[in-house]
């Protein structure tokens, strides 16, 4: 399963999330400051960062910006998890390179785990779709003929419906 880094400066909240994500099969790393996020992703492979915006030493916005502009693994998924839920905060985080934004008050810990799984699955599917668009056949000649067959079948279905209407 994926490794998730939980960046949360409230120890009680961090402990709850660490337990919930561990029980769901994630490998969990917890840190309590923005600078610790950067140190951790230098040391080990992190797949997902669950990032609070209001943290000591470096806020979440600065963390996102550094990760996206300073040569860190571009495949790390950054999901902001904050009580800052104004439209401007959400837009700023997403514009800096966050992959998702979850408002803390909207999720119980077990619901948060499910939402993170949903978001990361959705992001994985988006990446697969982008790859498919770049390489539609990906070396498989049968894919092209299947697409053509599907189009022919759809056209045939429309033709049959038109015949039915006019006969």
Host domain of residue 126: 3-134
Indicate the pLDDT class of residue 145, thresholds 50, 70 and 90. Answer: very low
**Residue 166 maps to a domain:** no
pTM of the model: 0.72
**Residue 140 maps to a domain:** no
Contact partners, residue 9, CB within 8 Å, separation at least 6? 32, 33, 52, 54, 55, 56
Indicate the pLDDT class of residue 3, thresholds 50, 70 and 90. Answer: very high
What are the contacts of 158-164 at 24+ separation with CB within 8 A? Answer: none
Name the percent of the chain lying above pLDDT 90: 46
Helix (H), strand (E) at residue 154: helix 141-166
Cβ count within 10 A of residue 33: 18
**Residue 96 maps to a domain:** yes
83: CATH = 3.40.50.2300
Number of domains comprising the chain? 1
Do β-strands 48-51 and 100-103 pair in parallel, antiparallel, or remain unpaired? unpaired
**Residue 23 maps to a domain:** yes
**Residue 161 maps to a domain:** no
**Angle between helix 34-43 and helix 60-69 axes, rounded to 10 deg:** 30
Residue 145 structure tokens: 């003929």
Of the listed ranges 5-14, 37-46, 111-120, 148-157, the least confidently predicted one is: 148-157
DSSP per-residue codes, 39-85: HHHHHS--SEEEE-SS-SSS-HHHHHHHHHHTTS-TT-EEEEEES--
Give per-residue pLDDT as tens, 90-128: 999 999 999 999 888 888 888 888 888 887 776 566 667
Q: Which residue has the tokens 């998924």?
A: 77
**Residue 72 maps to a domain:** yes
Examine the pLDDT at 63 and tell me if it is beyond 50: yes
């Amino acid at each position: 399963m994926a490794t998730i880094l939980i960046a949360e400066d409230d120890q009680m909240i961090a402990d709850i999330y660490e337990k919930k994500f561990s029980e769901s099969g994630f490998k969990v790393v917890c840190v309590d400051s923005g600078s610790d996020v950067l140190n951790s992703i230098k040391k080990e492979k992190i797949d997902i960062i669950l990032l609070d915006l209001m943290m000591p030493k470096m806020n979440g916005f600065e963390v996102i910006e550094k990760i996206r502009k300073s040569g860190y693994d571009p495949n790390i998924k950054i999901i902001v998890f904050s009580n800052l839920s104004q439209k401007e905060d959400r837009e700023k985080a997403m514009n800096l390179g966050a992959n998702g934004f979850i408002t803390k008050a909207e999720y119980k810990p077990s619901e948060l785990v499910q939402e993170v799984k949903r978001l990361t699955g959705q992001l994985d599917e988006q990446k697969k779709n982008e790859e498919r668009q770049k390489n539609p056949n990906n070396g498989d000649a049968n894919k092209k003929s299947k697409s053509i067959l599907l189009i022919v079948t759809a056209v045939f279905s429309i033709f049959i419906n038109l015949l039915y209407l006019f006969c």
